[in-house]
Structure 1
Amino acid sequence: MKKVAILMDGGYTRVIVRKAGKTYNPDYIERLAQAAVISQEMNAFDAEEVLRVLYYDCPPFNGKVKLPVSGEFKEFKDSGAWLDDLAERNLFAVRRGILKFRGFVPKTVPVAPATLKDADFKPDFEQKGVDMRIGLDIATYGDARTVDRLIVFTADTDCIPAFKRARKCGLQVVLADLPGGSVIGELRQHVDFVRSVTLP
């Protein structure tokens, strides 16, 4: 029985799941994590036991910003209570980054300046601190050797140095390949397995 930790990049998984037309919430995230694990029934020789599921995401942005055309203020307000719900689930831990507002960008290009309205723009947000937290946790598991294998949901090549570190420490790294996602070749070179995970 292999002991595993699952690390899920919320920004990445959310895009894939919503693109597939599914509802993204704590129940679904929990089922998605379970779908990535090899059960005793599937393969008794290589079965996996989950030590912990680490979920990385940012609470929603809260604040007032000026709209790009009218100059009026728009307020973003969301509690992000779903992250608290997820953190209370068995075996789950939530690592929170920060969501930064970077301004507004056109919904379509090219734009027609004479007819622009506020509705022609969408807010541009950037996650900060998520990649660093993923890397730190991978390094910690590598040093502590509390698991045999890491199952990682990401498409971010910034994780490659952490993957290298984990493998040097003797851990196996599994990259979760979701339908509609794209597993970059460079990532494939620095993991032990690429595992196709069916969306529940």
Structure 2
Amino acid sequence: MRDVAILVDGGFYLKRYKKQIDVKQVAKGLLTHCLKHIHNQSENNDRHITEPERLYRIFFYDCPPITKKSHHPITKKAVDFKKSKTALLRQDLHNQLRKTRNVALRLGFLDEKNARWTLKNPERFKDLISGKITHTDIIESDVIYHAQQKSVDMKIGLDIASMAYKKQVNKIILISGDSDFVPAAKLARREGIEFILDSMNAPIKPDLQEHIDGLNTTLSK
């Protein structure tokens, strides 16, 4: 029996997952997505799978939502991020995952001190810089409040290294599309761990493709 750990970059997953109607649906969709990666010998036709697999644990990495208040640069209205739809969904999802069997929630934090309003669409920014549009053309939906994630990538890398060195699993599946995980993937493979990437149909960089054992997603296009 091969033990499989599934590591989910939460921010990446939620951006790619299109059915964010309610927390229960998101949590159920996450579990369904992950468990489809676990191969049962009796139902599997892949010749490369020589023995059945079982789930070791699902690790979900994310950050608590922003809790501060600010004023929207376009409308000048006060915004309480703690009460936003995104924040409430995130909080409820984290609570739901805490109660879910075989799921470990790993939380980093958002750098609220250096958070700022920025344009959501890079193309919109290029148009502004090139003079195709002016600041008066920017509307409310063009801007978002952005805070950099901290500690999430480090926690993913440390967990990969720990499981690899301790031989806790035979296979690691990473749901992400970030090339920052190349060193961790290389380490796991050197330790004899099969490393599969699920980029949820997002394109990945060649250096990441080079250092994984396979690219596979259970997400329908």
Q: TM-score if structure 2 supplies the norm length? A: 0.79
CA RMSD of aligned residues (A): 2.3
User: Does 2:108 align with 1:106?
Assistant: no
The one-letter code of the counterpart of 2:180 is D
Verify the 8 A CA contact 1:35 1:198 in the aligned structure 2: no
User: Aligned pair count?
Assistant: 197
User: Cα–Cα, structure 1 residues 185 and 115, in superposed 2: closer, same or farther, change >3 Å?
Assistant: closer
Verify the 8 A CA contact 1:83 1:94 in the aligned structure 2: yes
Match of 1:37 in 2: 38
User: Cα–Cα, structure 1 residues 75 and 177, in superposed 2: closer, same or farther, change >3 Å?
Assistant: closer
Residue deviations 1:64-90, cap 9 Å, x none?
123224544311114502212112111
Consecutive unaligned residues in structure 2, runs of 5 or more? 128-132
Match of 1:10 in 2: 10
User: Does 2:169 align with 1:159?
Assistant: no
The one-letter code of the counterpart of 2:38 is V
Q: In structure 2, the residue corresponding to 1:25 is in which secondary structure? A: helix
Q: In structure 2, the residue corresponding to 1:32 is in which secondary structure? A: helix
Residue deviations 1:162-196, cap 9 Å, x none?
111111222111112423x1132211111122223
The separation in 2 between residues aligned to 1:62 and 1:115, in whole angstroms, is 29
The one-letter code of the counterpart of 1:185 is P
Q: 1:146 aligns with which of 139, 149, 168?
A: 168
Q: 1:84 aligns with which of 68, 82, 95?
A: 95
Q: In structure 2, the residue corresponding to 1:8 is in which secondary structure? A: strand
Match of 2:54 in 1: 49
Cα distance, 1:52 vs structure 2: 0.7
Range with bigger deviation, 103-112 or 32-41: 103-112
Higher strand fraction: Structure 1 or Structure 2?
A: 1
The one-letter code of the counterpart of 1:81 is D
Cα distance, 1:33 vs structure 2: 0.8
Q: In structure 2, the residue corresponding to 1:196 is in which secondary structure? A: coil
Consecutive unaligned residues in structure 1, runs of 5 or more? none
The separation in 1 between residues aligned to 2:192 and 2:111, in whole angstroms, is 36
Q: TM-score if structure 1 supplies the norm length? A: 0.87
Match of 1:197 in 2: 218
Cα distance, 1:116 vs structure 2: 4.6
User: Cα–Cα, structure 1 residues 168 and 64, in superposed 2: closer, same or farther, change >3 Å?
Assistant: same
